[in-house]
Each structure stands twice: as structure tokens, then as C-alpha cells.
Amino acid sequence: MDASKELHAGAEARSDYLEKVTGDARFASDIVVPGMLQGRILRSTVPHAKIRGIDASGALAMPGVVAVLTGKDLQGINSHWGLYLKDRPIIAIDRVRYVGEPVAAVAAIDEFAAEEALDAIVVDYEQLPFVVDAEEAMKPGAPLLHEDQVTQKDFYFRGEAKPVAGTNVFQHYEYAHGNVDAAFSKAARVFEDRFTFPMVFHYAMEPHVVVADYREDSLELWSCAQAPTAVQKVCAQLFGIPLTKIRVHSPYVGGGFGGKASVKIDPLVAALSRKAGRPVRVCLSINESMLTCRRLSAVIDLKTAVDDAGNLTAKSVRVVMNGGAYADTGPAVAIKSAIRAIGPYRFPHLKLEARAVYTNTVPGAAFRSIGGPQAVWATESQMDIIAAALARDPVEFRLANMVEKGEIVRPDLRPLDVDLKGALRSAVAAMDKVSANGPGKCQRGIAVAATDPGILPIAGAIVRLKIDGSVIVLANSVEIGQGVRGALRIVAADALNQPLHLVTVGEPDTEFAPYDWGTGASRSTVVVGLAVQYACADIERQVRDMAAQVLGGQPAQYALVPGGVKGPSGETGLRDLLHRFYGIDSGEFIGVGRVTPNSGQAGFGLAPLFWETAAGICETELDEETGEVRLTNYVSAADVGRVINRKAAEGQDEGAAIQGLGHALYEQYLYEDGQPINASLIDYHVPTLDESPQQMVTLLLESGDGPGPGGARGMGEGGILPVAPAIANALAAGYGVRIRDLPLTPERVWLALREVEKERKK
């Protein structure tokens, strides 16, 4: 791709930068459809209750109110949906299971009328016992949230959830190789630790927003969803409309982080439009988005054995995740958390177990590196605990036990395809350099991670090369701020050898762009990028064939050049070529690219498609009087295969690290009496610029051997993983404080410091 630098000189790959800063960018909330109403949602105020009745007559009598949707309106359609388990009603029917669950929705001529009408709806609840904690929810006699657990096999992810009948467990995953019990009994040392990770919010700047236009036999949506084809599929199942009659547009999305992955509010807005008989826009507040989904919290128990030489020999991982009131993608999150807790280490004996559990809380959902931050928090904290107990340097201890590139972590998974040892060494060297320039009074901590992105190799793209040399790429990869349109633009420009400024990537639209599984799991640049490459190769083949037919010679003698084709007799413009072929001054080339499990030289059927790894090193300062931790310096390193757009890639990695900083120091949902008591921007804190590190280095290593375009590997999620354990490890190294629960709030750190003082005095 080196030639691309000259070809694209001076051009900015991401057109959204300028559109966003000038206010020209179009988001779903900007969409106006003729006759459109505004919708607002009445939410459950109680954690668990039967609905005895809903009186909406007062709301319907108010000026400007057109319709009120309640569970009674779901008759005649399929009322329940889900990705793994069909457990969620479009809107509560006869029961609510968490504070914030939609109970009624109002469509009115404006948002004010709709909001006012909510207060006039009276819901009669019969309260039921509730449970907020996952381990409590697993106990016999705990309130049962769902009596029936209807699974859907291979519906969104491959496979099927394994719920435990008659309990709140909606996923139970187990894996083992070797014999951990025998290995523990023979081990020189065995370490057992419990770690907890709280519920945290995605905090995308744009809340959930959908415009739906339900007609008699069709449905059109403008959605913030990260997976428009999943929205299409779920709505088709619910409303009984053919896929071709459901059209989903994906304008710019103001951040997703998994909170808009799969399907969220689209069925509800579609049902409200169906009831109102008019298009409806529903734009949640951020407070409401906090009641829509969040990361699954986790309790992780690790038991790890080492031999006399300090080699890791066995590991047992037990994860219990709080999945909230509805399963969503929680079954996949639970599996990934168990796998990601292995770490990039060699374990001859391994046992994994994960459960995801229903509770009366906001539904858990996918979030940047599903299950990863929870797992890596536990594993990388414990790696330092073990290293300290064995009097080993934490870097050296990790390197001694880390798998090499090409070595397996688990026999059924693709061997590690990156040099993580090299990445860790690079990060250490970079931090040494940063420290040399810094204040030199900080404590250092490290952590690494290797995760297996759950990427299904299903993607498609259509590319059209016009007579004037301009190019348009059509794909259903959603621009959620990560820069995918820019990346695809570069890939198409390079593959077709056309200048970047003539390449456009269209707004995703299921009516025109081919099927794509969805935007997430660090997959778009790799699999959709490849689909674009394949589509461009299809075009190149067509151009060569046409050139050979029109100009003479063999197809192989021709190659694309900017604006034309070059062959034995020199360059010919595309316009001239098409004119001569069709006999008029018109025409275009259309290429189609598909990625399937059979794609790629090594085959894309083996999971993971690539390993996403990360090495993070932090230097922190601690105010011992207040317990306040400050991240002073941070180095993040990852082998991303090939950087397609450096500015955007660095932004992804740095953004992930700052999001990880929030998880580490500040963020958590707080529940009291079944009520989420800090679900607002006033009470829930994410890092500000002030709290960001003074020095931050991002090392994007390019081995060039990933499965994507130019050897690219996916990235954007890995950077979030090492931050929390690295900071906790720095606190342990510097102050003897080992904290096993996140976030590392000043109160928690201060109390831990006092405990250490007490122990020292004894």
C-alpha cells in the first residue's frame, strides 16, 4: 500500500471530520419524514411487578397526542424477540422486570406533548420480589425472572445459549483440557483470587435514536443501530414483513461501543409507528440510554497453579455475570469472558466455566471487547499477585509464560498470530523513554491481553466505477465514529488505483448495500475491507476483459491507472473505453465482493479470524491523603498487522484506553432498592480531558500478516483491556495495596491504604 501515499497525497480519507465540525453530518436524530410524529417512552418505576392495568385515557385526551402504545397492542404480531433467547417483549405486556423498562409509548405532534402525556398514563403495578445481584439470583428461592427460556440457534451468533431450566441462569458455558484437579494437587503453589467488575455504561455521545415509518406491508427505519441487517431480521420476524420490504438506513452514528450493537429500540419505535399510522421519531435522553443497556458486571474466581520453576501449569476460571432483565447478547459475553480470562499464556491444564444470570437490572449487552475488560482485569491482576509472591519481575514472569507467535492457547482456536512478546518489549522500551522525560515519581504497572474477536466471516460490498473515474462503495458497515468509511475509501482507492478524492463511501442502506453481519468486534476494516477489495478485483477483471475486447491483446496485459486503463498501446480513458464498448458515452463497472468462511488463503472458518492483543504500561501517582489515583503516563502497544488510516487508528486505540481509564477509576452503576440511583450525567462520571494522562504513546506495530487488506488485523477494542489491571498493579507495586474490585475510587483506595498501614503496625 506504499504507492497509495503518493496517490492520496493531500487528501483526507475521512470526510466525516469536516461534516461533523461544520454541523453538516447527518445523524438519525436529524431525519425528518413528512408527517412524522415524536415519541416518548414511559418506563417502569419499579424493579419487578405484574402490570394489573394501564389507563392511558388521560394521555389520549391531551392535545397533540395521536397514539399510545401498550402491551395490549401487540396482539396479531410476534410480541417477543431476542438474539439468543426470545425473552424480550417489544413493550412490557403483563410484567416489568427492571426500573426503566418501557411500559407505554406516546406518539404526539411534538416532543413536549408526548412528554406531558406520559404523566397522564397511570400504571397499576402489583409489586413482586426482586433481585439485583447475580449470585443472589442463582440461589434457590430467588425471584424467577423468566419462567420459559426459548432459545434461538444460530440466529445472530453461531450456536445456542444453554439456559438452566427453572433458574435465572440463561447461559452456562464449560470448557476443559488436561486435568486441572490433578495439576493443582501436584503444584508447587496455587493462587486463588476473586475479582469483581461493575456494570458500566457505554456513554456514547448520541443516545439511542430511531425514526420508523411503518406502512401496511413495509417498514422503513433510520436507525443508530450498529447492525442494520440484524434490525431488519428481527423486525421481519416480529411484524411478519419480508426482508426486502424492510429498509434500514444508517446515517452517521454518534458512538456505539456495542451499546447499539444487534438490536435495541427499533422494534418498539416500529410498533409505535404501526399504532399511530404515521412515521415516528424516538430520540432517547442519555439517562434513558443508561436504562437501555450496559456492560455485564462480573464476579471472577481464578485458581492458578505454578510449578517449582515458576511455570504456569493449570488454571481454573469461574465467571458469574449479571446479565440484567433480558439476555440480549449476554450468552456470547459470558463465553468470551471465560476464554479471555486465559490470557496469552500456556496452560497444559485448563478449566473454564461461565454463567450469565437474569437480574432485575438494566439488560446487559455487548460492549467494546465483550467480556474482555472483566476477564483481563482478573487475570492480569492475578499475574502480578503471582509474580510478587514468587519474587519475579512482572514483565519477565509474563514473558516466561507467554505463548509464542504460532503457538496455541487452546487447541480448538487458531494459534496466536501475533508477536505479543515483541509488543510488550516495545511498550516497556517506550515507557522507559517517556519516564526519562517525566517527573520520575510515579509507580509503574503493566498488563497484556489476547482476545479472540467473535467475527463471523459474512460480509459483502458493491463497488461502482463510473465513466468519469469516480467510485462509490456500498456496504452496510456503519460509521460509528471509528472511521470505517474512510478506511473503506482508502481500500477501494488503492485496489482500483484511483485518486482518493474521487472515491465515495455511501451511507449504509439495506435496500442497496449487500448483507453484512454488523459493525463491531473489530471486524469492519478486515472483513468488509476485504469484500471491497474483492469487489474492486471484480471490476478490474471486467475492465481488463473489456479493454482486451475493444483495444486488442490479452486481459492480463491491461492494468487500471487513474481515470483509465493502461495496455500495450498506452493509456485509454475509461470514458473512451466504455464509449467504444457500448456505442454511447455512458456506462459503468459494477463489482461485487463477498467474504465467506471459504475466503482467505488459510480459510476463514477457523476462529478467531485473528487475535486482538494489547500491551499496556502505566505510570500512576497516588495522593495518599485522599486515595485519588492519577494516570500520569500510558503506553499502549498492539500489532495491528497494517495501519490503513494512521490518524483514525491511533484515535481508536487512545479512545479505548481512555474508556478503560473510566472503567478503572470512576464508572459503575449503583443500585439501591432495585433503583439505579446514579443513572444520569450528573451522578455518573467518565474521564475528562483533565483526568487523561499527561503523556500517552500509542505503538501500532505492523507485521503485515493479518487477514485483512494489506495484511491488516482488526483493532479498536484491545486498547481498553490492560488499563485497569495495569493501574491496580502499579498501586500494588508502589504501595502494597492490592484491590480486587473496580472502580478504584478514592474511598476504596484510601481504605485499602489504611488497612495496609494497620497490617504494617501489627
Q: Which residues bind another protein (CB under 8 A)?
A: 45-46, 99, 119, 122, 125, 127, 287, 672-677, 679-680
- C-alpha cell belonging to residue 63: 392535545
- Rounded to whole angstroms, the Cα distance separating 115 from 111 reads 6
Burial 73-102 (b: 16+ CB within 10 A, else e): bbeebebbbbbbbbbbbbbbbebbbbbbbb
Q: Which is nearer to another protein, 199 or 450 (CB)?
A: 199
- Rounded to whole angstroms, the Cα distance separating 185 from 754 reads 36
Q: Which is nearer to another protein, 99 or 657 (CB)?
A: 99
How do beta strands 122-127 and 209-214 pair?
A: unpaired
CB of 207 to another protein, least distance (A): 16
CB 616 within 8 A of CB 446: yes
CB of 629 to another protein, least distance (A): 24
CB 315 within 8 A of CB 238: no
Give how far Cα 699 sits from Cα of 664, 723, 750, Å.
Answer: 21, 15, 33
Residue among 363, 362, 369, 356 nearest 300 (CA): 356
Q: Which is nearer to another protein, 46 or 387 (CB)?
A: 46
Residues shown for the chain: 762
Q: Which is nearer to another protein, 99 or 505 (CB)?
A: 99
Q: Is the peptide bond before 373 cis (omega within 30 degrees of 0)?
A: no
Torsion sign (Cα): 514, 519, 525, 530: negative
CB of 293 to another protein, least distance (A): 17
- C-alpha cell belonging to residue 614: 494489547
- Rounded to whole angstroms, the Cα distance separating 626 from 647 reads 37
How do beta strands 209-214 and 280-283 pair?
A: antiparallel
CB of 522 to another protein, least distance (A): 35
Give how far Cα 31 sits from Cα of 211, 272, 638, Å.
Answer: 7, 17, 38
Q: Which is nearer to another protein, 559 or 670 (CB)?
A: 670
- Rounded to whole angstroms, the Cα distance separating 464 from 458 reads 21
CB 67 within 8 A of CB 275: yes
Tally of CB atoms within 10 A around 711: 15
Q: Which is nearer to another protein, 62 or 607 (CB)?
A: 62
CB of 151 to another protein, least distance (A): 32
Q: Which is nearer to another protein, 122 or 408 (CB)?
A: 122
> What type of residue is 745?
T
Q: Which is nearer to another protein, 617 or 679 (CB)?
A: 679
CB of 99 to another protein, least distance (A): 7
Q: Which is nearer to another protein, 127 or 549 (CB)?
A: 127
Residue tagged 446515517 (cell numbers): 251
CB of 672 to another protein, least distance (A): 6
Q: Is the peptide bond before 608 cis (omega within 30 degrees of 0)?
A: yes
List the strands of the sheet with 443-451, edge to edge: 443-451, 612-623, 628-639, 695-701
CB 655 within 8 A of CB 717: no
The backbone torsions φ and ψ at residue 471, rounded to the nearest 5 degrees and listed phi first, read: -130, 140
Q: Which is nearer to another protein, 569 or 680 (CB)?
A: 680
Q: Which is nearer to another protein, 46 or 284 (CB)?
A: 46
Residue among 42, 37, 44, 92 nearest 65 (CA): 37
DSSP lists the bridge partners of residue 595 as: 459
User: Would you call 757 helix, strand, or coil by DSSP?
Assistant: helix
CB of 628 to another protein, least distance (A): 22
7 burial type by CB count under 10 A (0-12 exposed, 13-18 middle, 19+ buried) = middle
Q: Which is nearer to another protein, 221 or 362 (CB)?
A: 362
CB of 28 to another protein, least distance (A): 26
CB of 118 to another protein, least distance (A): 8
CB of 59 to another protein, least distance (A): 13
Q: Which is nearer to another protein, 127 or 185 (CB)?
A: 127
Residue among 273, 449, 437, 457 nearest 371 (CA): 449
DSSP string, 677-700: TT-STTT-----GGGS-SEEEEEE
Q: Which is nearer to another protein, 209 or 679 (CB)?
A: 679
